[in-house]
Amino acid sequence: MLTRKLALVLTPVLATTGFLATSAPAQADPTPGITCTGWTYTTYTPGLTDTVQPTTVVDEGNLNIITDHSPTGSCLAVGSAATAGSRDVTALIDLSCTQLITETGTETVAWNDGRSTSFPFTASVLRGLSNTVITETGTVTAGEFSGDHVVETFTALNLAFAACLTPAGVTSLDYADVITITPL
């Protein structure tokens, strides 16, 4: 009986105010994206000199994974469970100390949430007074973050290139790595 009286009392209030309590609309899932920092350890065989030559390049990239060549890192993801990632790439490229890379290729990052991200990229190199920066740009074509835009930068100190003048050349470099994947 009390329930019926309460309903009768509320009905005129709702009718006169036009107010009707409803549940809040469902929140849309945030647009997925991720930004990670880490390090890429790259070896060159034969070592880089001032002469352009076919060179086997092996990249071991770690995003927020601590190793001997990756002392720090971080990842901030939205709409993803990924908190770290890695990639290993081997390529044969014509390189020298003065001609690092202007290339295209496909990169795949394996995330620690069991998913991966693949994207074709175009790379460009800028050698400044103190750093050499390689920038890759592309769009994710497969896996997590599909359709999103990618910018990845690799930065090495120019002092690391001092061995270019030696017969063995530069046989390895540590690059600080930052990758950002955002919706288009």
Q: Amino acid letter at 16?
A: T
E strands in the chain: 33-48, 53-63, 74-78, 85-95, 104-111, 116-127, 131-139, 142-143, 149-157, 170-182
Render pLDDT for 81-117 as a digit per residue (tens, 0 to 9).
999 999 998 888 888 988 766 678 899 999 999 999 9
Nearest residue to 120 (alpha-carbon basis) of 132, 134, 104, 133: 104
Q: Check residue 83 and give its pLDDT.
A: 97
Render pLDDT for 116-164 as a digit per residue (tens, 0 to 9).
999 999 998 888 889 999 999 999 999 999 999 999 999 999 988 889 9
Query: Which of 36-50, 68-82, 90-104, 169-183 has the lowest average pLDDT?
Result: 90-104
